[in-house]
Amino acid sequence: MVKLTSVRADQILDSRGNPTVETWVSGGPGEFRAQVPSGASTGKHEALELRDGGMEFGGKGVLRAVSNVNGAISETICGKEFSGLREIDSAMIMRDGTPNKSALGANAILGVSMAAARLISSENGSELFQFLSSFSGRDPVMPVPLLNIINGGVHAGGELAVQEFQIVPSGFVKFSDALRCASEIYQHLKTHLKKKFGPLAVNIGDEGGFAPPVSRTAEALDAITVAISEAGYSPGKEVYLAIDAAASEFYRNGKYRMDGMELEPAELSDHYLSLASKYPLVSIEDPFDEEAFDDFAAFRAAAGKRLQVIGDDLYATNTSRIRLGIEKKSTSAVLIKLNQIGTVSETVDSTLLAIGAGMNTVVSHRSGETADDFIADLAVGTGTGQIKTGAPARGERVVKYNRLLEIERKHPEIGFAGHSVFSR
Ligand code: PGA
Ligand code: ZN
């Protein structure tokens, strides 16, 4: 049984300088904190992030969400006995009473859920990932990181349509070696971009990746391929490439504007496949608009086993949308974001649903982040085998990678997922 004696929240800033919610919960073992992230290329089907409107912070204040924690949520869960995290989450979901958490705000509910998970794991005398492992019934696994080292789309001020260009150092035995490889490539990419395009080319975007003055997808992939070689690695051996197209952001009136073209879905599919034949791409996220279940399915069929196809905005970590994707065979993987759905229990439900259907899962940060490292434990504990949390740079990104290093150091028995996650 678990009893929370106090639940409170404050307004703090995220990595983009916008307000977000920080939550504290107290109970038996002490006081525990969580900080809530926020997206920019948010999916239409995400749970509602409650913002104040008005003049302060350009309307982005979260004081209403904060007061929902201090008022309604505190009233609902403080001083009562709950059998566990799921019951706490259910009580908040009931109190909210809407399908998308629009009454209290997903940003209000999520912080409490995350902080409560920390409290319960401490009460059990376990680390957060160990609690999440028993909560999900999954064995812990050190995840392959997908590191976003060139930022485009709405995460940067450049002309690249594709939002994220990632390196995937999957050909290692340990997470720490994979991260070292990524860091070396990141530094070589910096040198290469500076030499080729001048010092302005190494300005960075929201997730810590560079935002060079290139406009074509292939140019970004070329630059990364050079950096991989210059760092002494072989593209397609120890390290692979991945992209998050976030295609809803460049979709207008049935066409996708990308690489100087206006493409129909079938043409865009061919374009991706031709990129995949020239570069060692292993994964493509959100290749089409967030409603295009059928275009995803056609692309997945055409790509076969060569490419992992991930749904992010398509699913918004929502079980009913994931069920539709399973039925239509739309993707081979699901992106998992806590704040798209708004509680830890529902996030785990989505993960288990996807895994049960034979899909891969990838735990993800948001472009607006905080120093909270919850997702590192979530990825390990639910054994997803993959995590994406930005470049190996900037505090709010590296805090997650550093927590993963710590878990691996303290628990060398937990194996690294490695490249076999892509052949499942
Ligand atoms: P977002 O980007 O947090 O801005 O939505 C991350 C993603 O699209 O995966
Ligand atoms: Zn995405």
For the chain, the structural domain boundaries read 2-125, 136-423
Ligand 1 center to 390 CA (angstroms): 10
Q: Is 207 a catalytic residue?
A: yes
pLDDT digits (tens, 9 = 90+) for 291-332: 999 999 999 999 999 999 999 999 999 999 999 999 999 999
Q: Which fold has domain 136-423?
A: TIM Barrel (3.20.20)
The predicted structure's pLDDT at residue 86: 98
Query: Which atom from ligand 1 is nearest to the alpha carbon of 285?
Result: 9
Which one of 207, 249, 285, 290 is the catalytic residue?
A: 207
Catalytic residue among 60, 101, 337, 400: 337
* 165: confidence class by pLDDT, cuts 50, 70, 90: very high
Mean pLDDT of 194-220: 97
For residue 213, which of 193, 229, 231 has the smallest C-alpha distance? 193
Reply yes or no on whether the pLDDT at 23 is more than 90: yes
pLDDT, residue 424, reads 73
- Mean pLDDT in residue range 47-51: 98
Q: What is the mean pLDDT of residues 96-119?
A: 98
CATH superfamily of 2-125: Enolase-like, N-terminal domain (3.30.390.10)
Average pLDDT, the chain: 98
pLDDT confidence of residue 421: 97
State pLDDT tens for residues 214-269. Answer: 999 999 999 999 999 999 999 999 999 999 999 999 999 999 999 999 999 999 99
Are 165 and 285 within 8 A, CB to CB?
Answer: no
Give the confidence band of 182 by pLDDT, cuts at 50, 70, 90: very high
Rg of the chain over all Cα atoms, to the nearest angstrom: 21
Q: Which residues contact 238 (CB under 8 A, 6 or more apart)?
A: 169, 170, 171, 172, 181
Q: How close is the Cα of 117 to the center of ligand 2, in Å?
A: 25
CA separation for the pair 133, 1 (Å, rounded):
19
CA–centroid distance, residue 6 to ligand 2 (Å): 35
How does pLDDT run across 403-415, given as a tens digit for each residue? 999 999 999 999 9
- Catalytic annotation present for 190: no
CA distance between the termini of the chain: 38
Residues 347-377: pLDDT tens digits?
999 999 999 999 999 999 999 999 999 999 9
Output the six-digit token pair for 215: 């406009």
Q: How far apart (Å, rounded) are the C-alpha atoms in residues 388 and 66?
A: 28
Mutate to test the pocket of ligand 1, among 286, 365, 366, 400 (most ligand atoms within 8 A of CB): 366
What is the pLDDT, as a whole number, of residue 400?
A: 99
Given the CA of residue 40, which atom of ligand 1 is nearest to it?
A: 4
Does any ligand 1 atom lie closer than 6 A to the CB of residue 340? no
- Report the candidate in 240, 101, 170 with the shortest Cα–Cα distance to residue 416: 170
Lookup result for tokens 């879905």: 265
Question: How far away, in angstroms, is 365 Cα from ligand 1 center?
Answer: 8
Q: Where are the beta strands (DSSP E) in 58-191?
A: 81-82, 144-145, 147-151, 164-168
